[in-house]
């Protein structure tokens, strides 16, 4: 048995039957061909920043630590930057920001690894990885052949992709390539970024200044997993039909809401509902709702995955009863 406590950002204690760390696809293919642990299901783990472990894992846990950042090609306008699945996401972001290549700066400080990023099309402050995504390489777990996916094949949506739907459990992502811009083009329309830059008197921000603003906002709101266990947003922001949105806006004057690209649906911040229902800062034992961002559930130390899950179910029921809105879990429950 192997403790996974140090391998999930919630800091939950859960044991794995077997554990192996791989630094190349070849290593994994050899393992598969050798037949070792063929009796166990294989569970792939990147940074463990989007999982809630609720039970012992009767599996071979494969920690993906494939390294490497390299420039595939460049021209006057763009650079194609490739990173191994095991690269820490923020290391890739800061690598690109340091070189003034734009596209990833708004995604600064998101916990996790490069290989996990496309699975749920990670996003923050008005940017998603689909915006700069070029392609990825993945091992087909059935044929053990490598396949290349472009953005279309990944079927990205809001915190969604092919790898969470039809392709679930069928691929091991080994690297991701991004197409970044050499021309300074920053996205600061997300309210909080503008406020932070304005407070510093910055009107024409550099890529580094945008990244630093994002880092400042995240640090002020989101708990650092090193201090308090968490997996970022526990729920997705709910998207509802236009008529349902009209009801919510009518019943809750002043509720923030956002249009959904290419649809008449409307997105509402789950954190607003959770806060209004009185859960912000709630704590039971070591399971709680973060005091500065109600969308984030936290482990103050010794909470079990079951306790966090039970709290999340209670919150879902409360939001359904109070507002008639169904919340969907964003974190993978294992």
Residues that bind ligand EPU (CB under 6 A): 124-125, 221, 232-233, 236-237, 256, 269, 271-272, 275, 280, 293-295, 330
Number of residues that make up the chain: 334
Provide the greatest CA pair distance for the chain.
Answer: 62
For this structure, is 233 an active site residue?
Answer: yes
Q: What is the DSSP letter of 237?
A: P
- Where helices occur in the chain by DSSP H, the ranges are 25-34, 89-98, 151-154, 191-199, 207-221, 242-251, 270-276, 305-323
* Tokens at 293, concatenated: 């961002």
Task: Report the candidate in 4, 10, 2, 19 with the shortest Cα–Cα distance to residue 287.
Answer: 10
Who contacts 245 (Cβ-Cβ below 8 Å, separation ≥6)?
257, 265, 266, 268
Cα–Cα nearest to 270, from 239, 314, 301: 239
Identify which of residues 17 and 221 has a Cβ nearer to ligand EPU in the complex: 221
Do 57 and 48 form a contact (C-beta atoms < 8 A)?
no
Nearest to 274 by CA among 245, 227, 224, 235: 235
96 classed as catalytic: no
d(Cα 78, Cα 23) in Å, to the nearest integer? 29
330 is catalytic: yes
Q: Is 1 exposed, middle or buried (0-12, 13-18, 19+ CB in 10 A)?
A: exposed
Residue with tokens 């393992």: 31
Residue in 102, 159, 161, 231 annotated catalytic: 159
| Spatial separation of the C-alpha atoms in residues 196 and 220, rounded to whole Å | 12
End-to-end CA distance of the chain: 17
Positions annotated as catalytic residues are 159, 233, 330
């Amino acid at each position: 048995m192997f403790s996974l406590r140090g391998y999930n950002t919630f800091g939950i204690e859960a044991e794995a039957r077997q554990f192996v760390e791989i630094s190349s696809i070849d290593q994994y293919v050899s393992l598969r061909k050798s037949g070792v642990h063929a009796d166990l299901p294989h569970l792939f783990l990147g940074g463990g920043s989007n999982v809630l472990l609720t039970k012992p894992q009767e599996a071979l846990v494969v920690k993906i630590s494939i390294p490497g950042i390299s420039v595939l090609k460049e021209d006057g306008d763009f650079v194609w930057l490739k990173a191994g699945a095991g690269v820490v996401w923020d290391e890739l972001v800061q690598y690109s920001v340091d070189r003034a290549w734009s596209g990833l700066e708004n995604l600064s400080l998101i916990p996790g690894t490069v290989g996990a990023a496309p699975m749920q099309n990670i996003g923050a402050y008005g940017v998603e990885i689909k915006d700069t995504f070029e392609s990825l390489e993945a091992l087909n777990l059935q044929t053990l052949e490598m396949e290349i996916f472009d953005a279309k094949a990944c079927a990205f949506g809001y915190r969604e992709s092919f790898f969470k739907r039809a392709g679930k459990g069928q691929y091991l992502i080994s690297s991701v390539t991004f197409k970044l811009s050499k021309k300074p083009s920053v996205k600061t329309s997300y309210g909080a970024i503008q406020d932070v830059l304005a407070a510093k008197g910055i009107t024409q921000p550099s890529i580094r200044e945008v990244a630093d603003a994002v880092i400042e906002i995240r640090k002020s709101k989101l708990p650092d997993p090193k201090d308090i266990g968490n997996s970022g947003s526990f729920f997705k922001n709910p998207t509802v039909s236009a008529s349902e949105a009209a009801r919510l806006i009518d019943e809750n004057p002043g509720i923030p809401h956002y249009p959904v690209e290419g649809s008449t649906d409307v997105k509402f911040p789950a954190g607003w509902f959770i806060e209004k229902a009185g859960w912000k800062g709630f704590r039971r034992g070591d399971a709680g709702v973060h005091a500065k961002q109600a969308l984030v559930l936290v482990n103050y130390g010794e909470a079990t995955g079951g306790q966090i899950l039970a709290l999340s179910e209670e919150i879902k029921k409360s939001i359904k009863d109070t507002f008639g809105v169904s919340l969907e879990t964003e974190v993978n429950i294992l």
